[in-house]
Structure 1
């Protein structure tokens, strides 16, 4: 046996032992099917409505109807096409097949239908936690004499802006 063949054999054994054998990449059709059963197009519609409401507040001079077409059917197709390589990079064909099977199951369908409300509630909880945590930390810094009652650093002049907080403002409630 030549050294080259021996090295190739050792390399193949190492690849098998470490699980680094290249698995088949999912096809574009598989990824599209997964996105369909995950209800990605409807998620884009929800995102578009949220974005349109936000943009209407930020730019009241632009009619809300303008933003409602931001992620139209053409935009959805462009987004899906742009997202496919990420799925192909992170999942094998077998994994995508398993995900499709899961998302078609009753539990998978429940996950799809409940996820928007779950994420909204979780985000609200996270925001509430962040406001309370910031308030607690600001109180602690004030007790330590590092911040004044308005959330400004002490000893550096009165023209300092209040310290920023995740909830906006000075963290005072």
Structure 2
């Protein structure tokens, strides 16, 4: 190889490195943009769901309050149901006012302090969630539901792929 050929090969290699660097930069930028979009959509869905759950919990509190009003005034049952209704109504407002991280931390602390209350609350929340799911299914059209579940599946896939707990040792970078 003569000096001109070596210079051309060196120059070509430099151009290739620059090209690869540019492509890598573009890919990083596109991935960051897509990640931002997914996070924004996930937060939007979480806020919407949080609001709906708060409404359902409030409805449960209202139902308990109505049930307590039908009991004998001043009875232990009436007072107990009234107190439970007030507590649940307060929880509804807490759900609405706090962000998702705060809610999860609060639930974790409550579960450690009083596991029986936590399990009862989980059962009640399950009841409210099933009511919400049934009401949502009745209101939405099948196209809306399919779009919702498609978006949810995309978020679940994205979150699952980025979760180191979901990766096997061979697939870790």
TM-score (norm 2): 0.28
Give 1 or 2: higher helix fraction. Answer: 2
TM-score normalized by structure 1? 0.28
